[in-house]
Structure 1
Amino acid sequence: MKILSLRFENLNSLKGHWKIDFQDQAFQDNALFAITGQTGAGKSTILDAICLALYQQTPRLDKLTQSKNELMTRGCGDCFAEVEFAVKGKAYRVYWSQKRARGHADGNLQAPICELTEIAGKVLATKSSEVLKLVTELTGLDFSRFTKSMLLAQGGFAAFLNATSGERAELLEELTGTEIYCEIAQYVYQQNKQIQAELTLLTEQSKVLSLLDETQRAELDAEIATLTQQQKNLTAEHKALETAFNWLQQTQKISVDIEAQTQVLAKINQQKQHFESKEKALINAEKAAKLTPLFESKQQAAKQHEKVKQQLLEIEQKRKSNKALMEDALKDQELKSTQLQVQQQKTTQVLDEINSVLMPLELAIADKQSQSQQLNQQQLEKSATVKQEKQKLAEQQLQITAHHQQLQTLQLTLQSRAYIPKISEKLSTISLQLNQLSEMQDKQLTLSQILTSIEQKKFDAIKSNAHAQQAIKSLMTQVEPLESTLQQTKSDINRALSLLPDASIKAASTELNNIQIQLEQCLSALPLVDKLDRIEADLVKITDNKIHLETTLQAENEQLLVWKSQGQKLAEEVNNTEKLLEQDQIIQSLSALQMKVEESEPCPLCGSLEHPALINYQKIDTSHHQSRLNEQQQLLLEARNRYSELNGQLKSNQQQLQQVQSSLQALLLEREAQLQLWSSNAYLMGQEYNAQSNALLLAQKQSLALQVQQLTQKIEEVRRLESLHSEQSNKIQTLSADKNNLLLTQQQSVHIQNSLTEQFDALSADAAQMTLKMDAVKQTIVTSLPEPYQLSASSDLTFLNPESIFNQPEQWLAEATKQVTDYQQQLTQEQQLQQQLSELSQQHLLAQQVMQQHSELLQQVTTQMNVLTEQINDALQQRKSQFGEVSQEQLREQAQQQLTHCQEQVEKAKLALHALNATEQALQGESSQLITLEKEYKDHLANVEAKFSNALAVSLFTDQADYLDACLTQDEMQSLMALRQQLQQQLLTETTRLQTLESQFAAQQALKLTELDLPQASQALKGSESKIEQYQQIYATKLGLLQADEHAKLKQQDLLKQQQQKQENAQHWTLLNKLIGSADGAKFRTFAQGVTLDNLVYLANKEMANLHQRYQLKRNINQPLALQVIDLWQANTIRDVKTLSGGESFLVSLGLALALSNLVSHKTQIESLFLDEGFGTLDANTLEVALEALERLNATGKLIGIISHVDALKERISHQIHVSKGASAGFSQLAKQYQFNEAQ
């Protein structure tokens, strides 16, 4: 992995947008570079930016989120970091940024934005979690490994070297990922424990199985055979009883139906008797219906005759009204003609006056008005010109006045600022003096801050000393109660252990595990029992349904046979009756020949001389036989319909029976399968299924659950007490360590107080000397300013106040420069105003002369306008007095309209008279027609009345009233006729049905299937069912024992096979557990950490050979993870690493760090290395050795960056990235070449 470039903005003190391109030629030529700068300038921030972009956190801060970001520069609303890196020759870009709401520095933090892309532009991930996961996968380094292999942060060098054995084990596990060995050891231990428990369980299950011997098996087979035969005999008896019972039920049902049918027939006869009175009325109504056409013709003729008479009267009335209207119309026509002549004379007179008087007068008025408009236009133009000139004069006067005022104000201002030229002469000198004073103030401020810091540190040291004394007392009071509590906790642990099996958590856990396995098996068996219960209930229900359907089918088959026999009998009777009627028709058709046959004469057909058929022939009643045939055909149709209906119902029940039998067979198969599952279940093995199985399993479940709960509580109590004991012991140890630390803190506080006092005295003297120099410079500046008596009353005293000069020197210089510039601009403005005022005065005088000329011309036009207006008014008054205000066209139009109106009135009167004449002629013709029609209708009415009277006389009705009483409406007649037909049909139908039922009853009685009555047959059937059920239960029990024995044998064979397989597997896990397994994983983890440490020591010694050939590292034999140093220059003396000096510790730590980098990066080639560690503890020679080692490492192609402020390091490394503090407090910056702009 190689870092290609870094771009970031607003991180810590580095405010702004920066980019460092590690592929730049400067880095290619000098791959070993240094990041230099003052302490706190922001050197480590560059490495923080790399970590932030890659892993969204830094070595010095936790992960940055929406709720916390301490890395963003103060006063900024956003920050970001971007890194381009290469892995295995492929380049990627990873980006991280965060903003505040609306980009404001005080806005709420927004959610961070992350993105990982290829340099080519393909986006790989945008979610923070996905980006972090993908970066780890691509590089093979998580954050911890990255900070130990590529970026070695401050304080990380000596962490591994000075760590204890336990801490070193944790570091090795974290750095190299060897925690997997701990997990493997724990997994092996748990797996071996589980397999041993399963093997034990299989052995116990095999022991509890019970099998039948050969004798028991033979006895059981014989009992099952006997029960099978007995069950067949009982089933046959039960079927015979069931058939007899169904026959009794059917016979009883037919008897009930006959009784009910007799009642129905009696009811129909009663209805027929009630209908006799209505039938008589129906007969009379049918006879009256024959006279109804004549009666209706008579009524229609009378209506027509009356209607014509009425129309004739109406016509005569209309003729009288029309004659009166004709007389009025003739008078109106004569009056309108007279009015037309008068109007014609008036119109001629009006037109003559318009032509001779009005037209010349209006022409004269129009000419004068045209002249008036021209003069008026001239008057308006002159008035507008005069008005414009007046306005122009006023505007010029205002400009002149405004320029006078501006000039006066400007002159007063210049007089009040007469001191400005003097300040302008000394402004450059004052600027230099203020810069000098600013530098002194910065130094004074720095001294003041240092003094304040020293005072605060002294106060903190005193406060720390006091707190330490108080804390030591508090710790002493806490230790004694804790020791007493520790002893009590130990006693509680012993007492809790005594309640566990074998007084051991291990034994209790084993027992708990066994009980939990049994509980899980019990819970898994409960659904099986529930399903068997449901199957048994369904079997009972379906069996009952099957028996019911079989009984129903038997009864329907018997009924079907009865209907079939009855239908055949009825068909035969119908056939006989049809043949009889057919023969009678043939005889009737030969009646003519029969009349010609005489005794002793040959037959015309056969020639026989004897005619016995004619002698013995008896004529039959054809209508009677035809009626009988209809009744027989109706009964046959009903018998066939009943047969079809019963046959369809029989087929439907047969289908239902088949479905029920299929469902029963499926349930039996399912029950068999569930019983097999029952026998194969490890927990249910040896138990038999019965109705109480569910309750028994529930009780076992509750018992096992209670045991698990109680044992779990005991184990948890022991563990809680052990944890409490450990916490109390750790707390006592922690308090003792805190006491020692506090005593050391007291000593350090006293030493710090003395040192800070000496520093404070020296710096105070420097601050006093600096104050004297600043006062001298201030005095020089004050003497350069104008004296107060030289200023006018309107001068800017605030601007010339010495306090404003020294408090805000930059603002004062800017204000002074602005004052001088403004003063010069005001002088130029004064000259311009004087010149403009002279030009405005000349323009004002010329405008006054022009306005005087235009005023005189306006007066002349006004006089002419007044004379012409008087002439126009006189002419208009003359026209109004003679003709009013109406125009010529209106006068002509009014006269013509009046004449036209009179002509229209005359025409209307003529048309009205003509229309009335036409109406009279039409009414006269219509009256003649109606008189002829009335005569015809009168003759027709007399003829119809005569016909109706004749028909009524020969009918059974005495008069017309008697006829009307007998008449019924069409609906009433149809209703009575339908009722009569319905009663006849019902009587025939119900009689036939009764005969059919009687025939069925006789057929049923002839079968005589049993001598028992219905209650006795029902009791015998129930007894038979009870016996069958008892034998079935006994049979099921015996068969279940036999099947259970078969399942037990199979189960035993399966258990032996599983036990053999488990035994082989358990041997492997037992051996593996013996080698590496342990409950806490320490056995295999310690071994793996030792191997890892050996590898690390080997790699570190290779690095040490390049750094310093005096020292080598080795493992401590007595302490597995401890380190020792071999001094090769002292006869290979072995000593502890804590005896190394500061410089020696740094070299050894650097060697370990480089070795850790190689060890951690076993999956990824590391091509970049950043070291953030102070080299200040090294002497010149050691520093030289370290640099030579880094240069050799650089020669392998790695990019190496070092953060340091050591001068020798700066001189040795030519390529540097310098971080300098800015002018404003708290911000730093890089060189300008690293400042980023969008053009890049």
Structure 2
Amino acid sequence: MKIIAIRLKNLTSIEGSVEIDFTEEPLRSAGIFAISGPTGAGKSTLLDALCLALYDKAPRFANSVESIPLSDVGDNQINQSDVRNLLRRGTGEGYAEVDFQGVDGHRYRSRWSVRRTRSKSNGSLQPQVLEVKDLDTDQEYQGTKKELLAQLVELVGLTYEQFTRTVLLAQNDFATFLKSRGTAKAELLEKLTGTGIYSRISQEVFAKNKAAQEEVALIHSRMSVIELMPEEELLALQKEKEQLTERRDAGIKLLRDLNTQLNIVRSLKTQEELWKKKEEEEQSGQENMVALQRSLQLQEEGLIHFKAQWEAIQPDLKKARQLDIQIQSQQTGYAQSQKILKEARLRVTEYGKVVQSATSQLQMSYHSMNLLLNHVGGETLELEQVEKILQKEEELLESRLKVHEECQQRLNAFGYPALVDTQSKLKNELVRLQNIRQLTETEMKTKEDIGKLEKETVTCAQELAEQEVALKTIQRLYENARMAVGKDVTALRQQLQEGEACPVCGSTTHPYHQEQEVVDTLFRSIEQEYNATAATFQQINNRNIALQRDLAHLKHVEEQLKTQLVALQQENPESGNEEQIKNQLKELAERILEYGNLYAEWQQKDEEIKKMRAHCTALHENVSRYRLAMQKAASSKEQLAILETAVITEQGRFDIITKALEELRLERSQLLKGKNVDEAEAAVVRREKELNATLEKSRKDVEMAQNRLAGLQGEKKQLSVVIKELREQQKHIEFPDQLPETIAKQQDENSNTESSLASISARLLQQVKNKVIAGQIAKELAEKQLKAERWAKLNKLIGSADGAKFKVIAQSYTLNLLLFHANRHLSYLSKRYKLQQVPGTLALQVIDCDMCDEVRTVYSLSGGESFLISLALALGLSSLSSNNLKVESLFIDEGFGSLDANSLRTAMEALEQLQMQGRKIGVISHVQEMSERISVQVQVHKKVNGKSVLTVVG
């Protein structure tokens, strides 16, 4: 995974669009670069933009746990942990964009953007938008924001937590890590290494054990509520059930016989009532039959009368059909005459417009011609007069053209292009001579500055050599003194006895045996002198480097000045001096001015000739248009007169046809009441069909009434037979009127028997079910108890409610692997120290290799030493997290401010070692010495109003 470019706009203190492209120089060739700037300038905003574009998260919100609403524009509010807070206030939109190389080798671009409503600074914040694109195939990824974030994790190869442990290193967590408790270390290792599964396993084991024990207790409680009846009670219930079954069967048979008798009584009553109803229907049917037969007779008479009327109107139908044919023929002639008359009138109207238009054009042409001739008098000019005026103006134009050509020949004689070319060459030569004079003066001043710097450089080099000798001398004293106050030496000194030989030097006198405080004071004095000498040496060395850099720069400038001066002197060595060139330029200016005056005069005459020529051309065109307009107006008036005569003729013919048509229509309106013959015949046919249909329906109604009457008579006969049979059966029934009461009593008795039988059957069935359930519960209890015992054993080993038990065990192995990687990096940072795990715990201790591998507590480390060890832990975690993934980009955020000059130099050398492994490393720091050591920098500069700008230098 490799970061290619970072772009952002309007985020926190950075206003406008900025870009950091690692494929362009100087960042392309730099293995390590610094992101520098004052505190609060916006250095960490670059890393926030990187995480926003890839994960929709920002490191600065990592510790925000409270959900507190903050006021936004207007009455709107936004949660304090919302990443949209990064949008710079006062702006309407912003974005973060990252180009990176994914795990599959393709180049991708991910863009995170946020805007306010209508992109106005006072609009409401809209939801952030994520866009992902494959730059190699130009494919645009689709999906919701959640789906795109999941795809980005696959493309990058790292989750957000892994990314912030592998690509972004923050030392604050590891400074805490060094001195935290064992449980806290385990939690931090879980967070940093993503191995929280061990805590979840411990908690899951605890929960499983608790659930298993609760299941066993629940089964015991279920077993206690199951009741089984004694064997004697069970036999008694079974016998009582047999007796009740026999009683129920006898009651059911008796109830069935009683219901049969009741049905016979009720059926007899029903059949008698039905016979009476059929008799009434028979009487009503006979009356209906008489009425239907009378209606049938009337309809037959009406049909005969209708047919007689139809025969009587046949002559009128024939006469009406003949008149209809004549009217239709006359209407055709009427329509044709009307159409011809309409078209003739339309042509008259159109030609009237043509005549009007031709007259208007004639007037406009005449008016235009008068304007061109400036003729505003009351008299009318004839066409011949206009043509004479035009001839005079053309002769005047010819004379002025001859004068104009003479003026143009005088202009051409001046040779203006040659004059301008000569003037340009003289001006360039004057500038060249002035540049030679300025370069000569600058060269002399640069030689003086070089002489001064050479003297200062020699003096500074002498001081540096003297200071280096002094530093080496005091350094040897300091190293000896440091060894003398070491822990092992102090312990050895306390064991010396007067008169006994020292095991190191063999001396029998021990002057420092009782003077430990004097030794310590002397060591502190030497240490202070060593530190002061080292600081002075570093200052002189920095000054010497700066002087040499400035001297080399001035010499380079001097060479450039010499080259430029030689080039200028060789361009035109025989051009003369500045005074001669200025006089030549003055003469040329006067000549060019004279040309300008003559050109102005020529231009004025040229404009006058153009106006005269345009006037003559316009007058020619107007005369032609006027002549054509006159011809067109005369022709249009002649054609209009012809068309008006044709309209009058056609109008007379149309009036004759109209009168004949009206007489035929009057005669036709007196026949058939003006109705159409076909319609009248169709109406007669419809009426005849209606009368025939009504007659046929009446015949069917009579036939149906006869059939219905015969059917009622047959039903009465059948009912009489059934009633006779039912009366014979009723004679054998005792007390038929009391049957409903007897049946109700028997139903109650049967119901009571059935209820008792159901109760006993339910108790017996429950006994069977309870036996089955008790057997199943006993089997389930044995299985659950075996499972609960296993979980109890596992819970005793690794289970805990908070997950701490297994977490500490598992993270002990993780810590060993982390220390392996950290010590490898620590060997580059400081060969003096080595990290080690305190046996049986997650605590850390330090091995001091300079003090005979003395074991030291982490609390004894200085601030700079703690930072170096924390940095080694961070780099070790980066190695641990990226074993299966090649990570080519690394960003380290702050932490270098606690280092002295030597420690800072050591840290830089270690980072350079990482650079040699193929990583591009970005260091975010405001430490001046670090910024000076790293030549390629992304500098963040603070401006007014809380704004910052970025520049890449190198």
TM-score (norm 2): 0.53
Q: Is 1:1172 the counterpart of 2:893 in the alignment?
A: yes
User: Partners of 2:875 and 2:49 in 1: how far apart?
Assistant: 22
1:1126 aligns to what?
847
Match status 1:133 vs 2:150: yes
Shift of 1:1037: 1.4
Residue 97 of structure 1 and its aligned partner are, at CA, apart by: 4.0
**1:775-794 to 2 correspondences below 5 Å:** none
Equivalent pair of 1:182/1:1080 in contact (CA under 8 Å): yes
Q: 1:73 to 1:231 in 2, by over 3 A?
A: closer
1:379 aligns with 385
Q: 1:309-365 CA distances to partner (integer Å, 9 max, x unpaired)?
A: xx9xxxxxxxxxxxxxxxxxxxxxxxxxxxxxxxxxxxxxxxxxxxxxxxxxxxxxx
Question: What secondary structure sits across from 1:1228 in the alignment?
Answer: strand
Counterpart of 1:35, as a letter, is: A
Please state how far the C-alpha of 1:1025 moved relative to its aligned partner: 2.3
Q: Which residue of 1 aligns with 2:207?
A: 190
Q: 1:59·1:153 contact (CA, 8 Å) conserved in 2?
A: no
Does the C-alpha gap of structure 1 residues 116 and 167 become closer, same or farther in structure 2, counting only changes over 3 Å?
farther
Question: What is the aligned counterpart of 2:100 among 67, 77, 84?
Answer: 84
2:59 alignment partner, SS class: coil
RMSD: 6.0
Is contact 2:262-2:739 (8 Å) kept? Answer: yes
What does 1:517-536 align with in structure 2 at a 5 Å threshold? none
Give 3-state SS (helix, strand or coil) of 2:161's partner.
helix
Residue of structure 2 in register with 1:615 after alignment: none
Deviation at 1:175, TM superposition (A): 0.8
CA displacement at 1:130 relative to structure 2: 2.7
Corresponding residue number in structure 2 for 1:34: 33
Give the letter for the 1:1186 counterpart: A
> Aligned to 1:1109, what secondary structure does the other structure show?
coil
- Matched position secondary structure for 2:831: coil
Aligned to 1:252: 269
The structure-2 alpha-carbon separation of the partners of 1:238 and 1:848, relative to structure 1 and needing over 3 Å to count, comes to closer
Q: Match of 2:56, as an amino acid? A: Q
CA distance in 2: counterparts of 1:300 and 1:52, whole angstroms? 101
Q: Closer, same or farther in 2 for the Cα pair 1:116/1:186, shift >3 Å?
A: farther
CA distance in 1, matches of 2:605, 2:122: 65
Which residue type is aligned with residue 53 of structure 1?
Answer: A
SS in 2 for 1:188: helix
SS at match of 1:1126: strand
Preserved contact between residue 1107 and residue 1185 of structure 1 (Cα < 8 Å): yes
Q: Relative to 1, partners in 2 of residues 1:81 and 1:65: Cα closer, same or farther, differing over 3 Å?
A: farther
Alignment correspondent of 1:1029: 751
How many Å apart are 1:174 and its aligned residue?
Answer: 1.5
Q: Residue 1002 of structure 1 is aligned with which of 724, 738, 763?
A: 724
Structure 2 distance, partners of 1:139, 1:271, is 100
User: 1:835 maps to which residue?
Assistant: 598
User: What per-residue deviation string (whole Å, max 9, x for no partner) do you get for residues 657-695 of structure 1?
Assistant: xxxxxxxxxxxxxxxxxxxxxxxxxxxxxxxxxxxxxxx
Q: Does 1:212 align with 2:208?
A: no
Once residues 951 and 811 of structure 2 are traced to their aligned partners in structure 1, the CA distance between those partners, rounded to angstroms, is: 45
Distance 1:49 1:975 in 2: 96
Letter in 1 for 2:7: F
The answer to whether the 8 A contact 1:153-1:1172 is kept is yes
Relative to its length, the structure with more helix (as a share) is 1
Match among 191, 216, 221 for residue 174 of structure 1: 191
Deviation at 1:848, TM superposition (A): 14
- What is the DSSP-based 3-state SS (H/G/I as helix, E as strand, rest coil) of the residue aligned with 1:212? coil
* % identical aligned pairs: 27
| 2:59 pairs with 1:59 | yes
Q: Say which SS state the counterpart of residue 801 (structure 2) adopts.
A: coil
Residue 568 of structure 1: aligned partner = none
Shift of residue 3, structure 1, vs aligned partner: 1.2
* Residues 795-814 of structure 1 aligned to structure 2 (within 5 Å): none
- Does residue 1056 (structure 1) correspond to residue 778 (structure 2)? The answer is yes
SS in 2 for 1:1078: coil
**Residues 1:1210 and 1:381: Cα distance change in structure 2 (over 3 Å):** same
1:1075 alignment counterpart: 797
Q: Could you tell me how far apart the structure 1 residues matched to 2:7 and 2:866 are?
A: 35
Report if aligned partners of 1:178, 1:1085 keep a CA contact under 8 Å in 2: no
On the 8 A contact 2:52/2:112 being kept in 1, the answer is no
For structure 1, which segment, 184-193 or 1194-1203, has the greater mean C-alpha deviation from structure 2 after superposition? Answer: 1194-1203
Superposed displacement of residue 148, structure 1: 2.6
Matches within 5 A, 1:462-501: none
Matching of residues 288-299 of structure 1 within 5 Å: none
CA deviation digits over 1:1161-1188, x for unaligned, max 9? 4554544433333545444543443344
| 8 Å Cα contact 2:6-2:98 kept in structure 1 | yes
**Distance change >3 Å, CA 1060–CA 24, structure 1 → 2:** farther
Higher relative contact order (CA 8 A, sep 6+): 1
Please tell me whether Structure 1 or Structure 2 has the larger radius of gyration of its CA atoms.
1
Please report how far the alpha carbon of residue 250 of structure 1 lies from its aligned counterpart in structure 2 after TM superposition.
Answer: 1.5
TM superposition shift of 1:987? 6.0
User: Structure 1 residues 153 and 1221, CA, compared in 2 at 3 Å: closer, same or farther?
Assistant: same
Secondary structure at 2:84 match in 1: coil
**Partner SS, residue 1189 of structure 1:** helix
Cα 1:71–1:1024, aligned 2, differ >3 Å: closer, same or farther?
Answer: closer
Q: Distance in 1 between matches of 2:145 and 2:858?
A: 42
Measure the CA separation in 2 of the matches of 1:25 and 1:1012. Answer: 126
Q: Give the AA of the match of 1:835.
A: L
In structure 2, the residue matched to 1:232 is: 249
Q: What is the total number of aligned residue pairs between the two structures?
A: 625
Query: How much has 1:1000 moved relative to structure 2?
Result: 2.1
The amino acid of 2:175's aligned partner reads A
1:979-994 counterparts in 2 under 5 A?
Answer: 989-994=711-716
Contact map agreement 2:15 2:949 (CA 8 A) in 1: yes
Q: 1:1020 matched to which residue of 2?
A: 742
Deviation string for 1:984-1024 (max 9, x for gaps)? 76665544433332222222233447423543222222223
Q: Is the 8 Å Cα contact of residues 38 and 941 (structure 2) preserved in structure 1?
A: no
How far 1:20 sits from its partner (Å)? 3.2
| Residue correspondence of structure 1 range 576-975 to structure 2 within 5 A | 834-835=597-598, 838-839=601-602
Closer, same or farther: CA 392–16 of 1 in aligned 2, 3 Å: farther
Matched, 1:1216 2:898: no
Secondary structure of the corresponding residue to residue 737 of structure 2: helix
1:99–1:112 contact (8 Å) kept in structure 2 = yes
If the length of structure 1 is used for normalisation, what is the TM-score?
A: 0.42
Residue 1111 (str. 1) matches residue 833 (str. 2): yes
Tell me the amino acid that sits aligned with residue 867 of structure 2.
Answer: F
Distance 1:256 1:48 in 2: 101
The offset of 1:1050, in angstroms, is: 0.5
Report if aligned partners of 1:115, 1:128 keep a CA contact under 8 Å in 2.
Answer: no
Q: Secondary structure at the match of 2:134?
A: strand
Deviation at 1:1044, TM superposition (A): 0.9
Q: Distance in 2 between matches of 1:165 and 1:48?
A: 32
Which deviates more from structure 2 when the two are superposed, residues 203-212 or residues 999-1008?
A: 999-1008
For residues 1041 and 970 of structure 1, the distance between their equivalents in structure 2, rounded to whole angstroms, comes to 82
Q: Which runs of 5+ in 1 are unaligned?
A: 312-374, 395-423, 433-823, 854-884, 909-968, 1233-1240
1:145–1:160 distance in 2 versus 1, CA, 3 Å: farther
Select which of 83, 86, 89 maps to 1:70.
Answer: 86
Task: Work out whether residues 393 and 844 of structure 1, in 8 Å CA contact, stay in contact via their aligned partners in 2.
Answer: no
Alpha-carbon separation, structure 2, partners of 1:837 and 1:984: 131
Shift of 1:222: 2.2
- Distance apart, 1:1100 and its partner CA: 2.7
Q: Distance in 2 between matches of 1:833 and 1:392?
A: 26
Give the counterpart letter for 2:84 in structure 1.
Answer: K
1:216 partner amino acid: E
Q: 1:1170, 1:1100 → 2: CA distance?
A: 17
My pick for the range that moved more, 1062-1071 or 1192-1201, is 1192-1201
Partner Cα separation in structure 1 for residue 114 and residue 826 of structure 2: 46
CA gap of 1:840–1:82, structure 2 versus 1, over 3 A, is: closer
2:2–2:100 contact (8 Å) kept in structure 1:
yes
